[in-house]
Structure 1
Amino acid sequence: METTLSAGNRSMLRELVSRSFGSAAEAAAEICHLVRAALGADLVYVSCLDGDEVEIVAVDDALDTGLLPGARLPQDATFCRRALHGSGPQSASDLEGGPYADLAWPRAAGLRSYAMSPLWSGDGKATGTLSVLDRRPREFGEEELAVLELLGGLLSREQRLDQVRAREASRAAELEASDGRYRSLVDDLGDIVVEIGPTGQITYVNAAWSKLSGLSIEEMVGKDMMEHVHPDDRMLAAEHMAEVLSGADTVRPDAAREVRFLAADGSLRWMSVRGRAVFGDDGQLAGFLGILHDVTARVEAEQAVRDALSEAEAARDEAERASSAKSEFLSRMSHELRTPLNAILGFSQLLELGDLSGEDAENVEHISRAGRHLLDLINEVLDVVRIEAGVLSLSLEPVDVGEVVTESLDLVRTAATRRGITLRAPDRLNGARVVADRQRLKQVLVNLLSNAVKYNRDGGEVLLSWAAPESSSTADAGDGDWLRVSVRDTGRGIPADRLDDVFTPFDRLGAEGTDVEGTGVGLSLTRTLVEALGGRIGLESEVGRGSTFWVDLPAAPRSPAEPADAAADPGLSHTVLYVEDNPSNITLVRRVLARRPHVRLMVVQDGAEAVEAARELLPDLLLLDLHLPGMHGAGILAALRSSDDPRLSKLPIVVVTADLTTGNERRMIDAGATLFLPKPIDVHQLLSVVDDHLPQS
């Protein structure tokens, strides 16, 4: 029996075709319901192919057959496997015969007739069916099949729309996830990211801005960024933004500007601002994208370094001024103290050379002894002050130990002879050298030798030797090459519990109650000088047997022995020019040289006249003070040494001065001085110098 659609059903179907649905499943459910009502069928369903199975998408079942949406059936158990080989709607008026006679479930449900329209994909492949079944054997008319084909096409369209909607939803989800990840990443940045529109108003800031300003992102949108820039830096920030927006500053590596921002807690934060202009698709300026990096810690650290450097420079300048003042003071004090001592010791020595006896001779001896003691104390105290003030400069160079030992022994030989003390040293000088300041090394050895003589027994012995230290000594064998100079005496020795007090200033270990002269400063000064030379000092002592003081100094390469200077030719009469402005010193030297009849003494008191006097007199020997009116002695020395006249350029020049500033002797010798004699003048030493350079016939 062929059926046709009523006018009402046609109207519902037209409305159905023109409708839009939210999904293919929604369309399938409604179409199943309307088709069953329109065609008066018992069962309508929509299926979808999924591999070898068929999934039921929607069902309208008046028979309660148990077929439900979501059910999955093998293709062989459904109409799909055979029906989908066609190209359009198909129908069967009676399922008892024909191609579907072997399907068990329709017969079990009492279904007799069947009609179907395929669902198509966009590329023309069958994807499912819209199926109608009824308990009555019936013929489906052309109009009904056409309706099924039309609705099948509608379902196919909705399925394709589902795919489009799924793709769009997936893309939207991806975009939303990407945007979420981007915003999360931007919000997690320690840097501030800001977008500013073409009118200068904020369109976006990330969460880092809230930490700085205390304002939420929503509160900042639409506001002027400059409100949070320090007033003094707003012009700089505006200029930077103008440069960037003009495109002039978008590629330079130094495009960043450091600008101060006002934080929510009232503090200032230094931000390095880097940005670029943003343009729309139409090429028009869309705004500004900036990144603000907090550089407060670096800026404050740099400022702290600058402040520290400034303070260090100020402290250095102050220290240099203080050091200069101390050096000037020491130089002045040395000169002022030594000048009167020069007269005291010089004239006392002249008296000693006279025919004095009895109480007069004893008085002069006391004067000389007290003067020498005072001179020793002045020398040692001034050296200690120099070292503590940091103004003791040293000229470290290879020094021949044998030469310095010989000179040092000569300086203590007289005192040793008075008490019958024998001085012993190696007979052969082996060329051993140390790195030291020659003058200070001699001072160290003289101090040790003087103590060895003073605290020795009458008729005793002092042995001076040098060699590489033994590995068992306090000098570590692995820390370089050393040379040990030892001074051993046969005195009373030092108790073991007092060894640590030996180098304590002004502690004489009970010797202050004896007639042995001393200040208690010598050994303390000696240790300080040795350490300044880069060496070490120590001692070993045994009560009743004596003491051994040793000094370790860095060894220098040995040098070959140098030939002795040739003796000066003797002369019958010689001229000595003395450049000195102190009357007492002039008188002293005049009386000393009076003991040499073959010597004529000429005196010049003004430094400016000294060079001209030397040209006129052509002296055989020049005695030269340094601190002179008119010209400093160093200038006189330089002028004579640069003279074209060899009688002046090679003239023996002996510097006689109370200025014993550290390094002064070395500077004068390097400048061409023949010898350096310190004041107070040692009469015997002066006469020895005169005899060496002006021998009698």
Structure 2
Amino acid sequence: MLYGILAAVSLAALWISVRYIGLRKAIRNSDRELQEITEDLEQNRIVKMSVPCRELEGLLITVNEALEGIRRQKVAYEDREAKLQRQIENISHDLRTPLTAIIGYLDLINTETLGEDDAQSFETVRKRAGMLQRLVSQFYDLARLEAGDYNLDMQEADIGKMLREELLDSFGDMEQKGIQVEVEIPERPVMICCDQDAMGRIFLNLIQNAGRYAASTLKVAVDVHDKITMISFENDVKEMKHEEANRLFDRFYTADPARGQGGTGLGLTISRHLTESMGGIMDAKLTEEDGREWLKIVSCYCSLRDQ
């Protein structure tokens, strides 16, 4: 009798052990499946339970329903984004032609025949029209970049020379704003494969960003190391937070609207898109040095050859 009881207890213990081990393995497998699914939601997969268990199967049903809801939201979001991009592109395209005509007519007006007050008003109108034209162009380019329709003409170029020329053109504006510019660019050619118009656009956006937010100093440097060309724009800032630095590439985000000076929050967004389209990366971080906070925007590209 005792032997039979012991045998039954042993069998029960063995069954529980096997069941426990099987459930642990099944949970690990389900966890691995869930991680794979969340990494690629495009695939219409569900989490399965390899060992029957009513309670855990109920949990997985809830998990799979949540995954399906996330997929539907993702599809709806991407659809809204695609529609918004098309609308922005269409509206921008429709506005560009009349704006170009307006600016052309403004350029034909002989300001010498205007009185002092009228001339000042006319200059204000022309500046505002130019700002609107640039804004429309930014909307249009951003829509094309995000849709993957922005065509690049990739050629070999000396970006050191290009950057020096952009800085030289902007030196007078920086000097008027009291911003000291420090430059470290190698005298030798720094060659990468890029679209020269896009690279010039990136440099101009970075210079304008520094012009808006630099407290007193802008440091520009080009460094080539291990076949990687790194371009850095670093300027001192006042009262910027780390989370603000992380958001600088968000559409329409301006770190300080009161000091934005007409900034739309699109320049850095477009710059990062252009950089990534040319195979590079761009990031920003906030550091502290000499008792001042510095915003450093770095972009990296593959060098064409050892330099």
TM-score (norm 1): 0.29
1:584-623 counterparts in 2 under 5 A? none
Deviation at 1:333, TM superposition (A): 5.3
Structure with more of its chain in strand, by fraction: 1
1:648-663 counterparts in 2 under 5 A? none
Decide whether aligned partners of structure 1 residues 333 and 380 sit closer, same or farther in structure 2, where only a CA change above 3 A counts.
closer
Q: Is it true that 1:462 corresponds to 2:218 in the alignment? A: yes
Partner SS, residue 337 of structure 1: helix
Deviation at 1:532, TM superposition (A): 1.2
| 8 Å Cα contact 1:503/1:523 also seen in 2 | yes
Partner SS, residue 412 of structure 1: helix
Decide whether aligned partners of structure 1 residues 368 and 406 sit closer, same or farther in structure 2, where only a CA change above 3 A counts.
farther
Partner of 1:367: 125
Deviation at 1:455, TM superposition (A): 1.5
Deviation at 1:539, TM superposition (A): 1.8
Decide whether aligned partners of structure 1 residues 354 and 425 sit closer, same or farther in structure 2, where only a CA change above 3 A counts.
farther
What is the one-letter code of the residue matched to 2:140?
A: L
| 8 Å Cα contact 1:494/1:546 also seen in 2 | no
What is the one-letter code of the residue matched to 1:468?
A: V
1:42-121 counterparts in 2 under 5 A? none
Decide whether aligned partners of structure 1 residues 401 and 342 sit closer, same or farther in structure 2, where only a CA change above 3 A counts.
same
Partner of 2:20: none
Decide whether aligned partners of structure 1 residues 368 and 462 sit closer, same or farther in structure 2, where only a CA change above 3 A counts.
farther
| 8 Å Cα contact 1:493/1:542 also seen in 2 | no
Partner SS, residue 250 of structure 2: coil
Decide whether aligned partners of structure 1 residues 555 and 375 sit closer, same or farther in structure 2, where only a CA change above 3 A counts.
same
Partner of 1:394: 152
**Distance in 2, Cα, partners of 1:444 & 1:352:** 34
| 8 Å Cα contact 1:505/1:521 also seen in 2 | yes
**Distance in 2, Cα, partners of 1:355 & 1:403:** 42
1:537 alignment partner, one of 278, 282, 288:
282
| 8 Å Cα contact 1:465/1:486 also seen in 2 | yes
**Distance in 2, Cα, partners of 1:464 & 1:494:** 20
What is the one-letter code of the residue matched to 2:248?
A: V
**Distance in 1, Cα, partners of 2:115 & 2:296:** 40
What is the one-letter code of the residue matched to 2:270?
A: L
Deviation at 1:553, TM superposition (A): 0.6
Q: Is it true that 1:418 corresponds to 2:164 in the alignment? A: no
Q: Deviations over 1:62-112 (max 9, x none)?
A: xxxxxxxxxxxxxxxxxxxxxxxxxxxxxxxxxxxxxxxxxxxxxxxxxxx
Structure with more of its chain in helix, by fraction: 2
What is the one-letter code of the residue matched to 2:247?
A: D
Partner of 1:482: 228
| 8 Å Cα contact 2:155/2:194 also seen in 1 | yes
| 8 Å Cα contact 2:227/2:305 also seen in 1 | no
What is the one-letter code of the residue matched to 1:485?
A: I
Decide whether aligned partners of structure 1 residues 440 and 366 sit closer, same or farther in structure 2, where only a CA change above 3 A counts.
same
1:654-693 counterparts in 2 under 5 A? none
**Distance in 1, Cα, partners of 2:188 & 2:111:** 39
Gapped runs of 5+ residues in structure 2? 1-81
Deviation at 1:558, TM superposition (A): 6.8
Q: How many residues align?
A: 219
| 8 Å Cα contact 1:536/1:553 also seen in 2 | yes
Partner of 2:167: 409
2:138 alignment partner, one of 366, 374, 380:
380
| 8 Å Cα contact 2:254/2:260 also seen in 1 | no
Q: Deviations over 1:14-48 (max 9, x none)?
A: xxxxxxxxxxxxxxxxxxxxxxxxxxxxxxxxxxx
What is the one-letter code of the residue matched to 1:439?
A: D
Decide whether aligned partners of structure 1 residues 533 and 495 sit closer, same or farther in structure 2, where only a CA change above 3 A counts.
same
Q: Is it true that 1:507 corresponds to 2:253 in the alignment? A: yes
Gapped runs of 5+ residues in structure 1? 1-321, 470-479, 560-697
Q: Is it true that 1:518 corresponds to 2:276 in the alignment? A: no
Deviation at 1:409, TM superposition (A): 2.2
What is the one-letter code of the residue matched to 2:149?
A: V
1:213-362 counterparts in 2 under 5 A? 334=93, 336-348=94-106, 354=112, 358-362=116-120
Deviation at 1:351, TM superposition (A): 5.9
| 8 Å Cα contact 2:174/2:211 also seen in 1 | yes
Decide whether aligned partners of structure 1 residues 382 and 343 sit closer, same or farther in structure 2, where only a CA change above 3 A counts.
same
Partner SS, residue 490 of structure 1: strand
